[in-house]
Structure 1
Amino acid sequence: MKHFLFIATFILTSFIVNAQSRLKAYQIFDKDGKEVTFEEMSKALSTYDVVFFGELHNNPIAHWLQFELSQSLAKAKDNNIVFGAEMFEKDNQMVLDEYLQGFIKEKTMMKDGKAWDNHSTDYAPLVNFAKENNIPFIATNVPRRYASMVSKKGLPALEELSKMAKKKYIAPLPIEVPYELPSYKEMEAMMSGHGMSGQAKNFVAAQAIKDATMGYSIVKGLKKDNKGKLFLHFNGNFHSKNHEGTVWYVTKYNKKLTSGVISFVEQADVSKVADENKGNNEFTVVCTSNMTKTF
């Protein structure tokens, strides 16, 4: 009887373990490809000046981990933390602040602040956590109309803007574009392959104006009352993977700031980081590619 129970228990345990393995949603890896826990990742990231969470915009696991990381880092830093996001443009900072201060309702903030379509499910938890804990939340991205101008006419078009627009809503001109960065070369090749070779560099420049403005906003956001705090920034993975894009500009504007990068990717196999997803990110979160989407 004992022998039978042992065999039955072994079979049941094996079944549970195999089922859990098949249903594993994600796994976190460090720069060396070693599996780490969420707690280990959070502890390591708490030592940086700036932390980038490079998300996939429609992945619910990414958004859940962002919320968990926000709480974890806020606790570790005794709320000496600043949030910022690609999802809010600089000309909407006042609207965002009015919501954080309780002057307007969320519905008004979403409409007047041009919140993304998935705000309610994916970014509202982050904003509301900041509101409840009196954490600054900075709108870091360039107004989309300016990025559109650059994609059509190139960087010189920005010189036509008013002094106020150039001072408040974009990174200082002239903006250096590191076209040699692998991510920018990848974008240029992709646009050229779609029959837009004549405008390919303009599209890269439009991406760069976003990255530069976000980078400058982060550096500026860590001055005065926020000096010495940790800046947690939420953005698409392409903007920060391998310390390129926005991270490159943070370093350009302040070489003393240290940056920790999370790259979020999807793969059929979450047991290791695929070669095409390896890089010099501090951490890579590998999520199963059949994960449901948020919109």
Structure 2
Amino acid sequence: MRFTLVLLCVLAVAFRGPDKPAYRLYTQNLKSTTYAKLLRQATEADVVFFGELHNDPICHWLELQLTKDLQAAKKGNLVLGAEMFEADNQVALSDYVQGKTTAKELATKARLWPNFDTDYKPIADFAREQHISFVATNVPRRYARLVSRQGLSALDTVSAEAKQQMAPLPLTVDLTLPGYKAMMDMMSQPSPGGSSTSPGSATATTNLHGATSDMTANFARAQAIKDATMAYFIRQNLKPGQTLLHFNGDYHSKNFEGIVWYLRQQQPNGNERPLKILTLSSVEVSDIDKPGSENRNLADFVLAIPADMTKTY
């Protein structure tokens, strides 16, 4: 009888197989770590960048969990910000979060990404329930598109009101930064066929592979006006003692570049201490237990997700 029970237990383990976790967390040096450590360090940070993959459900679920847990830990000293909302839609977003309007009214007053209902509305609804300020940090897409087509000098022609919806001008763009340089190198290569865009993309509306150097440089500058604007509105809306949790595409904060670079450039002189910034980079890998050396040093935390994870769109 005892032998039979032991055999049944062994067979049960054999048929069940190993667990299949939906993600793994790693440190910057790819040492395995835990969500508890991520939360603790995020609680101590001034700004937390969650670099997401726009169509990945694990990213969106973990963003919501981190929002909830940070709200509990910060006891009300939490602010949210997101690439997915543009500065000229701040009133519409604030009205919704403050309970003044309905989701239907928000959809008519703001330019929402097509995946808003499934991926970002749960966070906005939690902010609404908990009375958390939510900052629309991104530059209005029409100005990013203007830069991608005509260069930064085109912003000299926009109105004073429009300039209040972006980082202060003139804007310095360092095209030698690895992220921007890699983008230009990619765009200058012959097209492999087809093009890919994010749901709220302001600039990647055409296939720019094989483009001229001026076109690729302007495309990178369009990304830079986004990065600089997001950094600017993060700093404008952050008060001492608060943590601002920012959601953005992984490109905009990985390798500690993009928004992070501009945020550090905008650090005021004087006795104010440097901001404590924490970054998370999301990557898809074939084996989440073996993230690969190419994912080292992407961020303070690396979120490894199975490459065959289902997508939200």
Q: Give TM class, smaller chain.
A: over 0.9
Please name the residue that 1:250 is paired with: 263
Q: Aligned letter for 2:100? A: F
Within the candidate set 156, 159, 171, 2:156 is matched to: 159
Query: 1:241–1:261: 8 Å Cα contact kept in structure 2?
Result: yes
| 1:280 Cα deviation from its structure 2 partner | 4.3
In 2, the alpha carbon distance for the partners of 1:48 and 1:99 equals 27
Please name the residue that 1:291 is paired with: 309
In 1, the alpha carbon distance for the partners of 2:212 and 2:4 equals 70
Q: Aligned letter for 1:126? A: I
> Is 2:177 the counterpart of 1:176?
no
Indicate the SS of the match to 1:202: helix
Q: Aligned letter for 2:106? A: M
> Is 2:124 the counterpart of 1:127?
yes
Q: Aligned letter for 1:236? A: G
Query: 2:83–2:137: 8 Å Cα contact kept in structure 1?
Result: yes
- Unmatched 5+ stretches in structure 1: none
Describe the superposition over 1:151-193 as per-residue Cα deviations: whole angstroms up to 9, x where unpaired. Answer: 0110111111112211x20101111112122111110001111
Within the candidate set 274, 281, 287, 1:269 is matched to: 287
Q: Which moved more, 1:5-14 or 1:251-260?
A: 5-14
| 1:17 Cα deviation from its structure 2 partner | 4.3
Please name the residue that 2:92 is paired with: 95
In 2, the alpha carbon distance for the partners of 1:91 and 1:207 equals 18
Describe the superposition over 1:98-122 as per-residue Cα deviations: whole angstroms up to 9, x where unpaired. Answer: 1122222111112211111111111
In 2, the alpha carbon distance for the partners of 1:257 and 1:207 equals 23
In 2, the alpha carbon distance for the partners of 1:35 and 1:74 equals 25
Describe the superposition over 1:91-147 as per-residue Cα deviations: whole angstroms up to 9, x where unpaired. Answer: 000111111222221111122111111111110011111111111000000000000
More helix by proportion, 1 or 2?
Answer: 1
**Please, what TM-score do these two structures have when normalized by structure 1?**
0.94
**Please, what TM-score do these two structures have when normalized by structure 2?**
0.89
RMSD: 1.3
Please name the residue that 2:3 is paired with: 3
- Unmatched 5+ stretches in structure 2: 190-208, 269-273
Alignment length (residue pairs)? 288
Indicate the SS of the match to 1:79: coil
Q: Aligned letter for 1:284? A: V
Q: Aligned letter for 1:263? A: S
In 2, the alpha carbon distance for the partners of 1:109 and 1:227 equals 30
Q: Aligned letter for 2:90? A: Q
| 1:275 Cα deviation from its structure 2 partner | 2.2
| 1:79 Cα deviation from its structure 2 partner | 1.7
Please name the residue that 2:111 is paired with: 114
Identity of aligned residues (%): 44
Q: Write out aligned runs for 1:50-65 (5 A).
A: 50-65=47-62
In 2, the alpha carbon distance for the partners of 1:239 and 1:187 equals 12
Query: 2:29–2:296: 8 Å Cα contact kept in structure 1?
Result: no
